[in-house]
Structure 1
Amino acid sequence: MSIKDKIPEGVFKRRFRNLNIVNSITVNGIREGLTNKEMTTTTTRTGVPNSEAVSRGYNFASTWEQNAPLTEQQHAAIIALSHAVVDRPFPSKLENISRENNGLSVSTKHGTVEESGEIDGVLVNTNQFYKWFTDLEAAMKSETEEKYQQYVSTLTERIQTCDSILQQVDETLDLFNELQMQHQVVATKTKTLHDACDRMVIEKQRLIEFAESLRNKLNYFDELENVATSFYSSNTNVASENFLPQLKKLDDCITYVENNPQYAESNVYLVKFRQLQSRALGMIRAHVLSVLKSSTSQVQTALKGSGGNKATVSEGVEASIIYVRFKAAASELKPVLEEIERRSSRKEYVQILSECHRIYCEQRLSLVKGIVSQRISEYSKKETLPSLTRSGCAYLMQVCQLEHQLFDHFFPSTSEDITSLAPLVDPLCTFLYDTLRPKLIHETNLDVLCELVDILKIEVIGEQLSRRSESLAGIRPTLDRILADIHERLTFRARTHIRDEIANYLPLDEDLDYPGKLEQSPEIKSDPTSIELSSDVVKTWYPPLEKTVSCLSKLYNCLEQAVFTGLAQEAVEVCSLSIQKASKLVAKRSSQMDGQLFLIKHLLILREQIAPFDIEFSVTHKELDFSHLLEHLRRILRGQTSLFDWSRSTSLARTLSPRVLESQIDAKKELEKNLKATCEEFIMSVTKLVVDPMLSFVTKVTAVRVALSSGGQNQKLESAMGKSLKEHAFASPDKVAEIVQKVNAGMQDELPRVMEKMKLYLQNPSTRTILFKPIKTNIIEAHEQVESLLKKEYSQEEIDNIKMVSIQELQAQLDNLI
């Protein structure tokens, strides 16, 4: 441990400031690590004796410095100390030291080192140095310990003070803990008291709410006496101010008691409340009846004063008195009726509201039924059935609209329900219905019935009723009923018309005058199969055809599709049969060809005229068949089967059960079938008329060839097998030439007449072209067959003598005829 570590820095500095060391063995020498030789030389220079003790001391110091080297920090402190010592002057006490003495000396004048801090003498050996250093160290330690002793004393006093303070703090803490415990006890008691207060407040609030709830519930029961006193009072009436509020209280009490049947005597209170409610509703009913009767009486008096007879009052005055005055007279009922409508969710008020509706309708009906009946009777006497229907419906719709507006004034919330006003509207509509129905039943004209359908379906229901559907909804059932009656009557008359005028039509002589009837008519330029037909064209038709087309065109937009389909199928079927019957009569009267063309003409017209109708002309007929019943009864009588064998197919139930036979008739397909057959018949008849000789010749040739190919069975055939075709009598060149001449004559004479008749009956060129095309084909095929035979069996000279027309010339000749 170095000197600096043992001596505090302040003491070290203070001690060495008092030393007068000149050219002595200083710490600088130790710090610089002087060797013994250097130390000896230095001592010699300074005049100090060169002793062995000094040498050992220096060696010891050097060894000490090597064994205990200083740190860099210590070196820096020593250097700083050296500079501080060199720069400062010696104290005045050390100035008397002899500067002449070159040895290491320290003088001490009075007292010891401890007293004066000075050392007088010369350190000549190590012991002296150690002794001096020990004394110095002891002095320094004494000074240091004294300082620390003072510090320890101070600390001890302060510790004692702190102990005293700590003891006081402990006592204070004990007091504080005790105070805290007391505070905790007080806080606990306070919290308990606070919780108890909160519970008491909550309990108080609960009791208050319970008392309030109980009071509110008891109020409903307490109201019984108040309401009963009010309703049984002689001064109470519906018009008073307190009536409706009391009625509302009564309804609330009934609702509450109904919803809480668990309360004691709730059933008893409910019965009493309902009794009061019945009394109140009875008062309302009586009040409404009284006010409405009074209003009716006032209006009737006004009517009598205006015209003497309400049936003779003008329509303007009638509307003013019946509707305006009645509305003003009955205005006092509006608050009560609105209150009833507002409570119509309850069944009791539904019933009283219905009663008010009925009373209102009865009073209004007694007021207006005479006027409406008289007005419709006047229309019935003056106008025709279509005009009566139009005027009566218009007047009835006007009355119904005014009545609906008046009803809406009294009952604004329930006026949309058409059933509410039905007791008034239905009797008024019945007047018109009862007036129209007898006339409808006796009406036989289809045109009038169709006009009635148009009036009701298009004008009344389609236009007027659709614009005011809400106010006129009550009249719609009556209009539909009248329209249904007209449909029924129209259907019946249509069937009668089809039966009498079409199916059972008895033709007159002029009806069968064909082709004279066509020849007498003016030239028809338009297409007779078109929809728009002139009167001249229609006059050439057979009357049942004209009646059928006219009837169907009238009924198409007047009847429902299902009904019209049945009538159309029946009409087309009987018309087709009637035309076929007439064609036979025409054939007998004129010619077979006239009958065929007559049938073709009218069937074509009928087919084209029914084409625009978008319906199916097929009808399914169902009928019961009992034909199997006789055979089953025979088997039962023979004992072949049992009557009571319910498990077999021959049981009584199956035996007596009829069979349902279904048959479908399509009038349009039947028409097409008849038309096709007639056209084919006409084509064959014209073909035979022109080329029948050629067809007979070809037939005979074919028969001969067949006989020759099958082999002869007799002498005559065997002899004929060796002959050629022209060697036969029927096929000689002269016979063939005769046949060709007959055909050419027919082509020149008969065929033009046929074409003239076709033009007379069938004015449409395309129709004639279609019908003549197979005739042309048949004629050309006949000529081609004969020409083929001639080329195979006859010479060219014979063919030239026969003078057969070429196919090209024949086609050109036929084309010119169309």
Structure 2
Amino acid sequence: MAAKASSAPLPKSGAVSKGYNFASTWEQNAPLTEQQQVAIVSLSHAVAERPFPINVSQEHISGQENGLSTSPKDKTLEDSGAIEAVLVNTHQFYKWFTDLQSAMKSETEEKYRHYVNTLTERIQTCDDILHKVDDTLDLFNELQLQHHAVATKTKTLHDACDRLLIEKQRLIEFAEALRSKLNYFDELENVATNFYSLNMNAENGNFLPLLKRLDECISYVESNPQYAESSVYLVKFRQLQSRALGMIRSHVLSVLKSASSQVQAVIRGSGGSKIAVSEGVEASVIYVRFKAAAGELKPVLEEIESRSSRKEYSLVLTECHRLYCEQRLSLVRGIVHQRISEFSKKEALPSLTRSGCAYLMQVCQLEHQLFDHFFPSSSEDVSSLAPLIDPLCIYLYDTLRPKLIHEANLDFLCELVDILKVEVLGEQLSRRSESLAGLRPTLYRILADVHERLTFRARTHIRDEIANYIPFDEDLDYPAKLERLPGTVSGATSGDENSDVFKTWYPPLEKTLSCLSKLYRCLEPAVFTGLAQEAVEVCSISIQKASKLIAKRSSPMDGQLFLIKHLLILREQIAPFDIEFSVTHKELDFSHLLEHLRRILRGQASLFDWSRSTSLARTLSPRVLENQIDAKKELEKSLKTNCEEFIMSVTKLIVDPMLSFVTKVTAVKVALSSGSQDQKSDSVLTKPLKNQAFASQDKVSELVQKVGASIQQELPTVMAKMKLYLQNPSTRIILFKPIKTNIVEAHLQVQSLLKSEYSPEEMQSIGMVSIQELQNQLDSLL
């Protein structure tokens, strides 16, 4: 490097050229990547901004683009400390670079060393601060522990205070509960003092409050038997209660007797003639004075009724009811008895029943209203007034009973049932059921007696008037009895109200239907069923007996038509009764006992072997046999049988010759068939049918003419009788239809036989009518 600065460029030596070439070769042989170049550019910018080291002055160094030479400007190399010579070789460059790197490193280390020192100082400062913070935290932790200890002690103190307060409250409540429980026991002396006081009675204003307190004490002691001496206190409390209830009973009796005495005094003063239980009697002294007495007793009686759920008060209330009924009965007994006796003397049994029941209902209603003033909560109970109402009802019952026993008229008895069942029980009691409920048992008792008497008289009537009926001559005068009626009687089987219709009926039939129509609404269905079954059965038997008598007096056909007529009427008239005409009869059968006894006597069975079927119990036990009788079915069966008999009798009357002819022909054919099988035939059997004596053309013609004459003469007579006995055309048609069928069938059978045995000329000479003509002829008779 030159000694002094020069603006001229430094001479280039061969070493510089070689170094440059080396650098260029190096650069080419080891090219930098783009990333490395970017890093070098960044480093260059960073270095350019940094100051030169102290020993290198920027003013005397000028950079060149190739970075291989420097030239001083203002100062010498000695002043700036720069390299004095020019770098001419690689060694010099490396040395220079090493020196420069050392300088830079020294500069960099100084910076970091200064930074390290700064950090060290700050770390020391932080350590000092941390020591102080640790000391502060130690103090804070100690303070926190002290605070926690104080808080724990405070909470413990608060909890102790709360426990003491709770304990105090519990002790206070216990003391109060103990005091409240002891109050019930302490009340004994107070209540006893008041109840044993001379001034204490049921009218005293303090009586009812003391009684209520006494009840509370008894209830409490009863519900807590575990307390000491509770049983002793309970006995004493009950003694006081009995005394109080006795005072109530005495007070009620006293007031009732006082009212009763005043009423009796008025009655005696009036001679007993003006006081009567009748309409408007509530305004009379009998009821007005007792209503005033009800006002006096109302507070006490209401108190008793409100506690009637307890046994002792229920007994006292019942006793008050009894005392009331006794006093009332003593007043109205004579009046009711006198009034019913007056009815009995003046009126017949039905009107007596109606008047007596109406009067008793009036008395019962008034008494119930008065009873409601005394005991409003108990008036709904029917049994409460029973000691008063029942004796009054007995007067009517005792009056009606003897008359009822001697009453034999079914109409009167049925009227009694209608009065009791419809008018009294159905209308009056249903309209005023609450106030008249006390009469119901007696009325039902009277009704039951009427039913019993009616049932007995009905059975007697069925036995005497139907089963044992002895007909008069005029009762059996058929068909003259029907012929005497003016005009044509119609509607007999449909229950026509024309009196002429009933005159044609056999009396037992009319009595049966009349009896059943009366009993149907009066008796219970089960009782009526039994009576109806019996009545229909004996009526049917009675009609059958009369039919046999008429058959002897007039003709068998009259007897049959009479029976059919009356059975039809009976069947139709009992149809509206909505009952089953069946009765199950149970009987005890001992017929098996004889065989068991024989086995026991022979030693085949033991009398005392209870484990076998031959035990004594089984041996001596009868068997129950049930036998069901249905009168309606029996009636239908009898009617059907008699209709069939009538049909067959009429059929036989008209076509009997034809039937005999067909029978003979059938017998001959059977004989011929059996003869050919046995190979035994005689000349009679082998002859053709028309050559037989009974089947000759003349004989057949004769029987055909005879049947034709019967159809012309006998059948109209039969139809006339049917019209006389059976007024209903539909009934006659039903009955005549099988007769017509039988007649036509007989003609068909004869025609069939004649066709097979006779020539057409012979059949024409016989004179057999065609079936169509026969049917037209028969239809014209209807």
Cα shift readout 1:687-726 (whole Å, capped 9, x = no counterpart): 23333333344444444444454449xxx99453465545
Contact kept, 8 Å, 1:105 with 1:122, in 2: the verdict is no
**Structure 2 residue identity aligned to 1:810:** L
**Distance in 1 (alpha carbons) for counterparts of 2:608 and 2:161:** 98
Match of 1:14?
none
**Alignment partner, residue 75 of structure 1:** 41
User: Any conservation in 2 of the 1:107–1:120 contact (CA below 8 Å)?
Assistant: no
1:108·1:121 contact (CA, 8 Å) conserved in 2? no
- Aligned residue identity for 1:359: L
- 1:161-200 residue CA offsets vs partner (Å, 9 max, x unmatched): 6666655555544444444443333333333322222222
Q: What does residue range 110-129 of structure 1 map to in structure 2 within 5 Å? A: none
Of the three residues 170, 193, 198, the one matched with 1:229 is 193
Q: How does 1:51-130 map to 2 (within 5 A)?
A: 72=38, 75=41, 104-107=71-74
Question: Quick one: distance in 2 between partners of 1:618 and 1:224?
Answer: 75
CA contact (8 A) 1:601 1:762 kept: yes
- Answer whether contact 1:108 1:120 (CA < 8 A) is retained: no
Q: Deviation string for 1:604-648 (max 9, x for gaps)? A: 1111111222222222223334455667667777x5767846477
- 1:272 is aligned, of 236, 240, 247, to 236
Q: Which residue pairs with 1:48 in the alignment?
A: 10
8 Å Cα contact 2:308-2:314 kept in structure 1: yes
**1:782 and 2:746 matched:** yes
For residues 516 and 138 of structure 1, do their structure 2 counterparts lie closer, same or farther at Cα, with a shift above 3 Å needed? same
The question of whether the paired residues in 2 share the 8 Å contact of 1:304 and 1:310 is answered with no
Q: Give deviations 1:440-467, integer Å, cap 9, x for gaps.
A: 2222221222222222222322333233
CA distance in 1, matches of 2:22, 2:576: 154
The amino acid of 2:214's aligned partner reads L
Q: Map 1:740-755 onto structure 2 (within 5 A).
A: 740-755=704-719
The answer (yes or no) to whether the contact 2:277–2:336 under 8 Å persists in 1 is no
1:178-197 → structure 2 map (5 Å cutoff):
178-197=142-161
1:336 aligns with 2:294: no
Which of 620, 641, 646 aligns to 1:677? It is 641
CA-CA distance at 1:545 after TM superposition:
0.3
Equivalent in the alignment of 1:487? 451
Is 2:700–2:766's contact at 8 Å kept on the other side of the alignment? Answer: yes
Q: Displacement of 1:155 after TM fit?
A: 7.2
**Pick from 362, 370, 388: which aligns with 1:406?**
370
SS of corresponding position for 2:487: coil
Question: Counterpart of 1:511?
Answer: 475
3-state SS of paired residue (1:619) = strand
- Measured in 2, the distance between the counterparts of 1:797 and 1:334 equals 119
Structure 1 residue 600 displacement after superposition: 1.0
**Equivalent-residue separation in structure 1 for 2:686 and 2:22 (angstroms):** 187
Kindly provide the CA deviation profile for residues 558-609 of structure 1, in whole angstroms up to 9, marking residues without a partner as x: 2111111111111011101111111122122222211111111111111111
Cα RMSD over matched residues? Answer: 4.2
In structure 1, how many angstroms separate the alpha carbons of the residues matched to 2:143 and 2:26?
69
Which stretch has the larger CA shift, 670-679 or 722-731?
A: 722-731
Deviations 1:36-81 (A, max 9, x none): xxxxxxx9x8243445787789889999999999874773585599
The equivalent position to 1:536 in structure 2, one of 497, 500, 511, is 500
Measure, in 2, the Cα distance between the counterparts of 1:518 and 1:223. 101
Give, as a single letter, the amino acid of the residue that structure 1 aligns with 2:767: K
Alignment: residue pair count: 756
Partner Cα separation in structure 1 for residue 699 and residue 147 of structure 2 = 162
Query: Is 1:263 aligned with 2:209?
Result: no
Q: Cα distance 1:304–1:152, how it changes in 2: closer, same or farther (>3 A)? A: farther
Structure 1 residues 475 and 107, CA gap change in structure 2 (3 angstroms): same
**Superposition pairs of residues 452-601 of structure 1, within 5 angstroms:** 452-524=416-488, 526-601=490-565
Percent of aligned pairs with the same amino acid: 74
Q: 8 Å contact 1:311–1:374 — kept in the other structure?
A: no
The whole-number CA distance in structure 2 between the counterparts of 1:330 and 1:543 is 65
Give the corresponding residue for 1:11. Answer: none
Deviation digits for residues 749-776 of structure 1 (CA, Å, limit 9, x no counterpart)? 2221111111000111121122222222
- Cα gap change, 1:655/1:192 in structure 2, threshold over 3 Å: closer, same or farther? closer
State the Cα distance separating 1:514 from its structure 2 match: 0.8
TM-score, normalisation: structure 2 = 0.84
Which aligned pairs between 1:218-367 and structure 2 lie closer than 5 A? 218-301=182-265, 308-309=272-273, 311-312=275-276, 314-319=278-283, 321-367=285-331
CA offsets 1:782-814 (integer angstroms, 9 cap, x no match): 333444444455566655554343333322221
Shift in Å, 1:308: 4.6
Q: 5 Å matches for 1:137-148? A: none
Whether the 8 Å CA contact 1:306–1:313 is kept in 2: the answer is: no
Aligned: 1:440 with 2:404:
yes
Q: Per the alignment, in what secondary structure is the counterpart of residue 817 of structure 1?
A: coil
* 1:146-170, Cα deviation, whole Å (9 max, x unpaired): 9976x88887777776666655555
Is 1:812 aligned to 2:758, yes or no?
A: no
Residue ranges of structure 2 left out of the alignment (5+ in a row)? 52-56, 61-68
3-state DSSP of counterpart to 1:330: helix
Change (3 A) 1:314 1:767: closer
Deviates more, 1:219-228 or 1:234-243: 234-243
- 1:523-558 CA distance string (max 9 Å, x none): 345332224443221111001001111111111122
Instruction: Find the counterpart in structure 2 of residue 422 from structure 1.
Output: 386
State the alpha-carbon separation in 2 of the partners of residues 164 and 654 from structure 1: 125
One-letter amino acid matched to 2:517: S
Query: Does residue 724 of structure 2 align to residue 760 of structure 1?
Result: yes
User: Greater CA deviation, 451-460 or 504-513?
Assistant: 451-460
Structure 1 range deviating more: 132-141 or 458-467? 132-141
1-structure distance, mates of 2:111, 2:646: 170
